[in-house]
Structure 1
Amino acid sequence: MRTSNGSRTAAQWDNLALLGIALVVALVHLLTNGRYGFHRDEFQFLSDARHLDWGFVAYPPFTPFVERVGLQLFGVSMVGLRLFSVVAQALAIVVTGLMARELSGGRLAQVTAALAVATSGLPVFEGTEFQYSSFDYLWWVLIAYFVIRLLKTENPRWWLAIGVFVGLGLMTKYSILFFIAGIVSGMLLSSARRYFASGWFWGGVAVALLIFAPNFIWQVRHGFISLHFLQHIHVRDVRQGRANGFVRDQFKICANLAAAPLWIAGAICFLRDKRYRMLGWMYVVPFALFLFGKGRGYYLAAAYPMLLAMGAVAGERWVASLGLAWRRVVLGMVFAGMAAYGIFVYAIIVPLASDGLLKQFALKNNGDLREETGWKEMVALVAGIRDSLPAEQRSSVGVFTANYGEQGAVEILGPAYGLPMPISRTNSAWLRGYPAVPPTTLIVLGLSKSTADKAFTDCRLVGRVDNPEGVDNEERGGSVFVCGPPRLPWAKFWKEYQAYG
């Protein structure tokens, strides 16, 4: 029987093992996150961070707020700004191991669960860019951890902690509503329904609503514009096939493929366990909602750490029942499989190489890395076009952008060239409006010739966007026009040309 001191010592070594895994992953990201450039999504966050509000068209306010803190601390630094995402991923790895411990798993279970998360596609990606999904992932993991603590200790005070992270989740990414549906359904379908009669549960609800209240008020004041945005994006994703392969992505993206037996076992064990059945429904209900609602494959990724934790605990118990030789064979196969798939994941997702075959392999297989290329060149092209204009046009020139990547890039990188604040019809930039004194000459990015001619007067093609490495992405080959003012009065034009993206 283990002594109290022995238990503390073992727990300390367990903690060191989990921290070691998280720190190695964090170090890999810190050493590679300065390569390439910002992603188009990151430019949107950077732009919104300069115009803080209690809400934005595309997302709640938490992520731009954190980005604003990052700008104050690090300036426009990829490594510095992405540090917050790296920390979020590292914490998710550690908390996954702690979930296995709370479920009575030993060091093997804790390390296995942590390694599974550290080598899974979506969480690895979350450490490479500054995205709202990085924090959303962490909130899901922390909520699951505190639910485990609640069910294990039967101490209803844990509802307050759950409420805090549900509230933060609502202030980060609205898709957490599907996890909330899982929590409520899990309570109804398990013995946890008794907590509906607890004041602590309703206290947790109140905490979550209090945290979320500023954004909800913002939505009311803006006609629930984010709901219209999300409906538009969902229709677009379904039309473009982005929601195809949802079940496949659960194995390929959301968790390490070699760890599939662990998370499947974890889901089964949760559903069969009277104490922890609520967590099984916390996975099944969002899975069903996303599947039948045609959600994208990665939307459910944050639900897998809790399954991996339970699966690792069950696996540890099963392996302990085997003979020594079989134990070594099974563990060797599991860890070799996870390592092999992890290497594959890192080679595709993480910019490990700045040139050579490994970089070409990553660019070929990772569209997000391709979207980190060419922004500086695009902004320099716009500046060169501005400088080539006659003096009378330069005195009243504006830059009109068709998407948030272009808009954010010109706003963040443009001041080095003396470019004006871009004019954008997309997402929250549209809410911020157009200049009080509108420009009479416009450099127009991202529109086709027919669309530019329909919207503006006297358009002429003056350039095309490219990047020095010839990487095919959304911007490459895009037309750049010099145009006169809109054909409609600015107020009417602004209302008619609002866009979501």
Structure 2
Amino acid sequence: MPTDWQASPHVPPLARRPVLIIAGAVALLLISISNRFGFSNDELYFLVAGRHLDWGYPDQPPLVPVLTHVMDVLFGGSLVALRTPPALMAAGSVVVAALTSRELGGRRGAQILTATTCALAPITLQSGHALITTPVDTFLAGVSCWLLVRWIRLRDDRLLLVLGAVVAIELQVKYLAVTFWGALFAAALVFGPRELLRRPKLWIGTLLVVAVTTPSLIWQAQHGWPQIAVSKAVADEVARAGQGGVHMLSTLFSCGGFLGLLLLPHGLVRLLGSSRLRTYRFLGWSFVIIVVVYAVTGGRGYYAGSYLMLPWAAAVVDLQDRPKFLKRRWWIVTPLLLLSLATIFVMLPVYPKSELANSPDKASMATVGWPEMADSVAEVYQAMPSADRGATVILTDRYEQAAALDRYGPSRGLPPVYSGHRSYWYFGRPADTSRHVIFVGADREYLDKFFGSVSKKGRVDNRLGVNNLNQGMPIWLCGDPKKPWSQLWPELYRQAVVIAPGKHP
């Protein structure tokens, strides 16, 4: 039995064919539905952010906006092309999960079960359906954990240099990775292996991480660290939704699906207490620490989901040597597998759009109604006197609405669109010659602060009866700005929306 510094130098053969088949099935499924139904809200935002390339953004580092922009330019707005990278990363996460299981001693069956758990997990399938930060972060976090587990077994310090490069890229996707690696360093110091912290190549890799991340940190410093304000706004949203504190655990559990729900607590207990996995105990404590940190600070439940493959792999490797489980494995795994397969039909858009209004698939609900919103705004704009249109701009309550109108507005002859919401505020303000505003969202009380005249002209209708964030949003025509836009624009900057979905005036 391995002790603290005696991890086995040998691992079982990789179950290459079944693992690749499972990963390929994930990629094929996600690519086959990638053109349904439309852009997600964050995809629309990243498309705009990619046209305002910078070293950083108020809410994140620059990698995903860059990737989105490249795919948009190369493939002309094709949803299939845009969503192919996240589909491939989801498939890659399946392979990495199996590799992690193998590194811990998982044989063929253990590798297949770990890969299957990852393949059917909502955090893999739902995030892999859209080019957003989560699939990229989940894949890179999985690779970094696999490299770390592999280093523990082999003590090959070249892996630490590769690890540094992967983490450097990961920090260009989300700053959240700092939380895990801070927790990991602390856990290694307390629980071992302290030898890891004395490896020169680890610190060389850390210097690489710092060097690559410095430009975005400089951007944050130059702009007053807006990421902090964004984090506070997210924490407020989580608290208002009743998903903070211990309640975030329900979201975390849901990220793993039925199989993941079974394996997570068992794997975490084994990582923390098994003598066989003693060398890897600090990884279990790292996971516990980040869950506690996110619960205390108001983080979203899925933030820790990128590291779920660690307890999954630990659980499966432990179960492979338990006779009682092996004897009953089909009775335990088969119902959970069938339930997991059934959930595909409610968490992915594999059904007709006409059924979306009756679906619990909130993620897909957020992908419809954008062109219809642009149509609603165009009706208001076309009804204006032609003499006023040249001095008209569009403002929105939410950044997603601005991004959608930026995408669909030009083909409808709409004027420039702006928003004071979060990162969109940084993309520019109306010219001082703008005298008329079509405002999507908000309420009269808010708009009266900034404009001399405010009148409601309509509401957004997605024509599907889908109760998403835009449905029923008011459309206002505002005039006579009370200050020049150069003075008004700082006052319009805000982190929270004026009115929440479902509470339209």
What TM-score comes out, normalization by structure 1 length?
A: 0.91
Root-mean-square deviation (Å) = 2.0
Measured after TM superposition, the shift of residue 282 of structure 1 is 2.1
| Deviation by residue 1:90-144 (Cα, 9 ceiling, x = unmatched) | 1111100011111121110111001101111222211122211111111211111
Match of residue 349, structure 1, among 347, 350, 357: 347
Measured after TM superposition, the shift of residue 355 of structure 1 is 4.4
Matches within 5 A, 1:215-226: 215-226=216-227
- 2:26 aligned partner, one-letter code: V
Which is further off, 236-245 or 456-465? 236-245
For 1:134 and 1:430, the matched residues in 2 are separated by: 26
Indicate yes or no: 2:281 matched with 1:277: yes
Matches within 5 A, 1:239-258: 239-243=240-244, 245-251=247-253, 253-258=254-259
Paired position in structure 2 for 1:470: 465
- Whether the aligned pair in 2 keeps the contact of 1:45 and 1:64 (CA below 8 Å) is yes
Uncovered stretches (5+) of structure 1, i.e. residues with no partner:
1-9
Paired position in structure 1 for 2:296: 292
- Whether the aligned pair in 1 keeps the contact of 2:435 and 2:481 (CA below 8 Å) is no
Paired position in structure 2 for 1:54: 55
- 1:417 aligned partner, one-letter code: R
| Identity across matched positions, percent | 27
Paired position in structure 2 for 1:308: 312
Paired position in structure 2 for 1:5: none
For 2:115 and 2:332, the matched residues in 1 are separated by: 14
Which is further off, 158-167 or 339-348? 339-348
Match of residue 412, structure 1, among 407, 428, 438: 407
For 2:193 and 2:143, the matched residues in 1 are separated by: 18
Indicate yes or no: 2:448 matched with 1:446: no
Paired position in structure 2 for 1:260: 261
Paired position in structure 2 for 1:31: 32
For 1:68 and 1:386, the matched residues in 2 are separated by: 29
For 1:484 and 1:369, the matched residues in 2 are separated by: 36
For 1:209 and 1:150, the matched residues in 2 are separated by: 21
Paired position in structure 2 for 1:3: none
For 2:485 and 2:437, the matched residues in 1 are separated by: 13
- Whether the aligned pair in 2 keeps the contact of 1:259 and 1:338 (CA below 8 Å) is no
Measured after TM superposition, the shift of residue 356 of structure 1 is 6.1
List 4+ stretches of structure 1 deviating above 4 A. none
Paired position in structure 1 for 2:150: 149
For 2:41 and 2:354, the matched residues in 1 are separated by: 24
Paired position in structure 2 for 1:4: none
Paired position in structure 1 for 2:378: 383
Partner SS for 1:173: coil
Match of residue 476, structure 2, among 462, 481, 500: 481
Measured after TM superposition, the shift of residue 11 of structure 1 is 4.3
Measured after TM superposition, the shift of residue 428 of structure 1 is 2.5
- 1:345 aligned partner, one-letter code: T
Matches within 5 A, 1:304-383: 304-318=308-322, 321=323, 327=326, 330-355=328-353, 359-361=356-358, 363=359, 365-383=360-378
For 1:212 and 1:485, the matched residues in 2 are separated by: 44
Does the C-alpha gap of structure 1 residues 419 and 355 become closer, same or farther in structure 2, counting only changes over 3 Å? closer
Paired position in structure 1 for 2:239: 238
Uncovered stretches (5+) of structure 2, i.e. residues with no partner:
1-11, 497-505
For 2:68 and 2:480, the matched residues in 1 are separated by: 34
- 1:276 aligned partner, one-letter code: Y
| Deviation by residue 1:173-221 (Cα, 9 ceiling, x = unmatched) | 1222221122112211233212222211111111111121111111111
For 1:11 and 1:438, the matched residues in 2 are separated by: 69
For 1:344 and 1:448, the matched residues in 2 are separated by: 42
Paired position in structure 2 for 1:499: 494
- Whether the aligned pair in 2 keeps the contact of 1:25 and 1:90 (CA below 8 Å) is yes
Partner SS for 1:399: strand
What TM-score comes out, normalization by structure 2 length?
A: 0.91
Paired position in structure 1 for 2:392: 397
Partner SS for 2:130: coil
For 1:184 and 1:341, the matched residues in 2 are separated by: 38
- Whether the aligned pair in 1 keeps the contact of 2:393 and 2:430 (CA below 8 Å) is no
Measured after TM superposition, the shift of residue 453 of structure 1 is 2.4
For 2:444 and 2:59, the matched residues in 1 are separated by: 28
Indicate yes or no: 2:121 matched with 1:109: no
For 1:70 and 1:215, the matched residues in 2 are separated by: 22
Aligned residues: 482
For 2:354 and 2:478, the matched residues in 1 are separated by: 41
Paired position in structure 2 for 1:79: 80
Which is further off, 463-472 or 279-288? 279-288
Matches within 5 A, 1:419-438: 419-438=414-433
Partner SS for 2:18: helix
For 2:409 and 2:338, the matched residues in 1 are separated by: 43
Partner SS for 1:462: strand
Paired position in structure 2 for 1:214: 215
- Whether the aligned pair in 2 keeps the contact of 1:464 and 1:479 (CA below 8 Å) is yes
Partner SS for 1:459: strand
For 2:100 and 2:212, the matched residues in 1 are separated by: 25
Does the C-alpha gap of structure 1 residues 377 and 232 become closer, same or farther in structure 2, counting only changes over 3 Å? same
